[in-house]
Structure 1
C-alpha cells in the first residue's frame, strides 16, 4: 500500500474487474459478429432488411431501409466486419488494462463510456422504457467507478 492509502493491487478493485468483464463481453460479441458477417456474407442482411420493409409495409424504392439495402454489398460487409474487429480489439485491450488496474485503461474506459451517454439519453427520449434506462444507468455507473479510480490515483 502506498503512503496515500491507495493500493494499486488489482485484486483490490472489484469494480474494475466487473467493468473489465463487461468490456471483455462486448469485445467477444463484436468479434463474434464480425466473424458471422464474414462467414454469412451480405445475403442474410439483405434478407433482414427486406423482411423489415415488408413487415412495416414500406415503399421498397424510397426511404432509409431501401437505401441501406442498396448499400449492402460484399465490400460493405468486409468494411463493417473490419470496424467490428477494431471495436472488439479496443475493448479487449481495455478489459485487460482494467483487470490489471492500469490507469490508462481507466482513462480509456471513462472516455468511451462517456461518449455513449448522449446516445443513451437520446434513446430514452425516443424509446422510453426499462431497457433504455438500464443502459444509461450502467454507463453512468461505469463512468463513476472509473472516475473514482482516477481520482484515487491522483491522491
Structure 2
C-alpha cells in the first residue's frame, strides 16, 4: 500500500467518523421530535443535579421551550444530509476517486476561516484540535492533488 493510499484511507476514515457522529446526532434529534422539550430539559437539569432556578439551567430550559417540533425535524434532516455527504466522500477517498480528493480539499478549506475565528474569539483545546486536524487534512489533500498535477506535467514534458 502506497503512502498516498494510506493517507487517503486515513482521511476517508475521519470523514466516515464525522458521518457516523452526524447520523447519531440526527437520530437523537429525531427521537426528540414530538416530545415535550421543556420536560426533557428539566429532566436533564435534575439528572445533572443542577438547580433549575439558577441562571444557566434556567436559560437552557427557556431555550428548549422556544424550539419547535418543525425545527427539530429540519435539524435532523440536515444532519442526515450531512452524514450522507460525509459517507459518499469517505467512500470516494477510500476508492481514490479524484473528484473526492478535490471535494475533501475544498470542503475542508471552507471551514478554516470559521475555525480560526472561533479559536481566536473563544480559545479551547477542542477548537485548536479541530483546527489542527483540518489544516493537516487540507494541506495533505493539496499536496496530493498538486503533486499529481506536477507529476503529470513532468511526464508530459518528458514525453515530448
TM-score in terms of structure 1 length: 0.77
Contact 1:94 1:109 (C-alpha < 8 Å) held by counterparts: yes
> Could you say which structure has the greater relative contact order, defined with CA pairs below 8 angstroms and 6 or more residues apart?
1
Q: 1:10 to 1:34 in 2, by over 3 A?
A: farther
Task: Give the corresponding residue for 1:78.
Answer: 73
- Give the gaps of 5 or more residues in structure 2: 153-160
Higher Rg of the two aligned structures: 2
Distance 1:10 1:100 in 2: 13
- Give the gaps of 5 or more residues in structure 1: 1-8
- Larger % of helix: which? 2
Distance 1:45 1:10 in 2: 51
Corresponding position: 1:25 with 2:28: no
Report how far residue 125 of structure 1 moved.
Answer: 1.3
Task: Give the corresponding residue for 1:57.
Answer: 55
Distance 2:36 2:60 in 1: 18
Distance 2:138 2:35 in 1: 38
Q: What whole-Å deviation, never above 9, does each CA across 1:60-100 have from its counterpart, x for those lacking one?
A: 7xx9985x545412211111111000000000000001111
**Number of aligned residue pairs:** 144
**Equivalent of 1:114 in 109, 112, 118:** 109
Task: Give the corresponding residue for 1:4.
Answer: none
Q: 1:42 to 1:10 in 2, by over 3 A?
A: farther
Distance 2:85 2:53 in 1: 36
Report how far residue 40 of structure 1 moved.
Answer: 2.8
